[in-house]
Amino acid sequence: MMMKLKIVFLASFILFLAFFTGFTTSVRKFREFVIGLPEEIFVSPGDEVIINGTILNTGWWWLHDFNLTVTGLPKDYNYTVEPKWFEHVRILREWNPQQGVYRVPEKFSIIIKTPENASGIYLINVTGQEFQSWKRVSNSSLFILRVKAHSLANFTITDIVVPETVVEFTPFNISFSVNNTGLTAGQINISVEIPEDWNISEKTKSLTVEAGGSLPVEFEITPTNTSGQIVIFAEYPYRETILNITKVGPILIPVAMPTEEAVTDYLAVIKELSPYMIILSLVFLAIIVWNLWGIYKFRAARKKEEKMPKKAAESFVS
């Protein structure tokens, strides 16, 4: 009998010990919290980024006189935390059918302004601490800030040359200059829109132009016998947006070119002239030359008669 009691007592003690150990290891602390932040943030040089964070009170009691600090940023980075100080970090609860009752965090924001020449990857530490209790409970969370330079190129298209007259089915060139007036090198995609039945050497061109640089661009276009308009279209990234340039040209009306058949027909007409017509033309030309020669001789003879010798003139007077 005593043996059975000892066994029952020992089993009860083991069960109680197991229950007590589990309770003590899983008990909620009086003061504790978790800071929630995104893992990674991307920002461009000269831009401002807003990082939204949360403070979830997971303890039994509210936290009082709570302060947030941020470390890990370079000195030339400007930042603010809103709010930086909480009078109370409360235990807030909400309910929905899916989760039942759950805790809702307090919210804060970190606003970071990067310099124009910024670049690099930074590990940012955000620390929260309450200052009312003697324990001064604190906790931290990290996120990665990646400063990646976006294109600051700014493009213009100038010196557009389009021929005033184009010939049907004969290739012609259009040319222009692409200028980068921005702060960094950039890539620009250029295309030329033409009538559907015309042909072009390349539909699009992709160029990389250094800051302050310029590149010439040329397209070869072959028109048909239909009129049409040429439109130059370009697009390029600037920071996080895509900008475009559109240049609308005049309406071109292709003209017909004299064909080889027309030249051949003209030569054929000359060949079909009879030999008599050719001889007659030569005789007529000879008559004109003979008459011109006779007129020249007649005028020369009259000038000689007017110039009388001096001695002959004196004897005539005496």
**For the segment 69-97, what is each residue's pLDDT rounded down to a tens digit?**
999 999 999 999 999 999 999 998 999 88
Q: For residue 7, tell me if it sits in a domain.
A: no
Residue 40: pLDDT band by 50, 70, 90 thresholds?
A: very high
Q: For residue 230, tell me if it sits in a domain.
A: yes
pTM: 0.48
Give the domain CATH number at 76.
2.60.40.10
Average pLDDT over residues 282-311: 71
Out of 115, 147, 179, a domain closes at 147
- Say yes or no: 130 and 217 in one domain: no
% of the chain exceeding 90 in pLDDT: 52
Q: For residue 223, is pLDDT > 70?
A: yes
Q: For residue 310, is pLDDT > 80?
A: no
d(CA 35, CA 125): 11
Q: For residue 26, is pLDDT > 90?
A: no
Q: For residue 22, is pLDDT > 50?
A: no
Q: For residue 115, tell me if it sits in a domain.
A: yes
Q: For residue 98, tell me if it sits in a domain.
A: yes
- Say yes or no: 140 and 161 in one domain: no
- Say yes or no: 240 and 179 in one domain: yes
Give residue 146's identity as a one-letter amino acid code. Answer: R
Domain that holds residue 117: 28-147
- State the total domains in the chain: 2
Q: For residue 303, is pLDDT > 50?
A: yes
Q: For residue 124, tell me if it sits in a domain.
A: yes
Q: For residue 269, tell me if it sits in a domain.
A: no
Instruction: For 161-203, write each residue's pLDDT tens digit.
Output: 999 889 999 999 999 999 999 888 889 999 999 999 999 988 8
Beta strand spans in the chain (E): 33-36, 40-43, 48-57, 63-71, 78-82, 85-89, 92-96, 100-104, 106-113, 120-130, 138-147, 155-161, 172-180, 186-193, 199-200, 204-209, 214-222, 228-238, 241-252
**Surface-to-core class of residue 290, CB atoms within 10 Å of its CB (0-12 exposed, 13-18 middle, 19+ buried):** exposed
